[in-house]
Amino acid sequence: MTKPLIVITGASSGIGAATARLLSAQGHPLLLLARRLERLEELALPHTLCRRVDVTDRGAVEEAVGEAEERFGPADAIVNNAGVMLLGRIADQPADEWDRMIDLNVKGVLHGTRAVLPGMLARGTGTVINVSSVAGRKTFPHHAAYVATKFAVHALSENLREEVAAAGVRVVTIAPGAVETELLSHTGDEQIKTDYEAWKKAAGGALDPQVVAEAIAYAYRQPQSVTVREIVLAATGQE
């Protein structure tokens, strides 16, 4: 096995699962993290370690990365993809939903990054790929707390790039528009969900997660001397 280890968070569905399939087909050993272990194992990918890890738990992320690096060698990349979107109005959205989004979408990215970054800096190579969103640059109705977390992902990625570029580590931000995944299903407000689906339909539908996986793989496969800083991609009909 010649290809290096890649860590993917939130690989049990949607963009993360598609990315895991693609990078595995390209010959990479993988560490896949999510809470639904059975969904990770159903992917049945070779040279892959699956661990039930909630990425809001920094110690658990570090432990799993340590175990995978012992088995497969140093992690050359991490795809910080795990995220949750809970749409609502600031006036009446349950406040614990803000905590969930901030803890996962922002601190989860920091936890994944911290678990691999010291090794990358010591080796002078590596790639951190953070999955943000078009909603990391632009706001949408009922997205206030979610866009706050995705603006944060853009900001921390840009700052991280400035911090580690001279040491040879690349930082990539992936910013998709609407993608057909389980993401919307976690929102509790039925009217907001219905409105979102209608907006998606009017835009001619959403991207297939495979398209986002290919963008991630494109950024990763550039020579280490080239950093694709940001990829923004959306369905053609999306404003």
Residues designated as active site: 146
Q: Does 13 bind ligand NDP (CB under 6 A)?
A: yes
In sequence order, the 6+-apart residues with CB closer than 8 A to the CB of 162 are: none
Q: Which one of residues 176, 217, 219, 230 is an interface residue with ligand NDP (CB under 6 A)?
A: 176
Choice between 131 and 219, CB closer to ligand NDP: 131
Rank residues 23 and 84 by Cβ distance to ligand NDP and give the closer one.
84
| 93 touches ligand NDP by CB under 6 A | no
Cβ atoms of 172 and 230 closer than 8 Å:
yes
123 in contact with ligand NDP (CB under 6 A): no
**Window 191-230: residues binding ligand NDP (CB under 6 A):** 209
CB of 168 to ligand NDP, least distance (A): 26
Separation of alpha carbons 229 and 157, rounded Å: 9
* Cα Rg, the chain, nearest whole Å: 17
Please report where in the chains the tokens 């866009």 appear, as a residue: 147
Q: In what order do the strands lie in the sheet with 30-34?
A: 48-52, 30-34, 5-9, 75-80, 126-131, 169-176, 230-233
The answer to the question of residue 133 lying near ligand NDP (CB under 6 A) is: yes
- Determine, following the binding rule CB under 6 A, whether residue 239 of this chain makes contact with ligand NDP: no
Task: Write down the least CB distance from residue 187 to ligand NDP, Å.
Answer: 11
Beta bridge partner(s), residue 169: 126
Please identify which residue in 4, 21, 47, 54 interacts with ligand NDP, judged by CB under 6 A: 54
Q: Pick the stretch among 23-31, 81-89, 118-126, 218-226 that binds ligand NDP (CB under 6 A).
A: 81-89
Classify residue 220 as left (phi > 0), alpha (psi -120 to 50) or beta. alpha
Q: Which residues contact 72 (CB under 8 A, 6 or more apart)?
A: 1, 4, 5, 29, 31, 47, 49
Region of 50-58, 65-73, 87-95, 189-197 interacting with ligand NDP (CB under 6 A): 50-58
Tokens of 213: 């996986």
**x/- letters, 23..42, toward ligand NDP (CB under 6 A):** ----------xxxx--x---
Distances (CA, A) of 160 to 30, 46, 101, 116, 169: 23, 32, 21, 13, 10
Task: Check binding of 15 to ligand NDP (CB under 6 A).
Answer: yes
Q: Note the residues at the interface with ligand NDP (CB under 6 A).
A: 9-16, 33-36, 39, 54-56, 81-85, 104, 131, 133, 176, 178-179, 181-183, 209
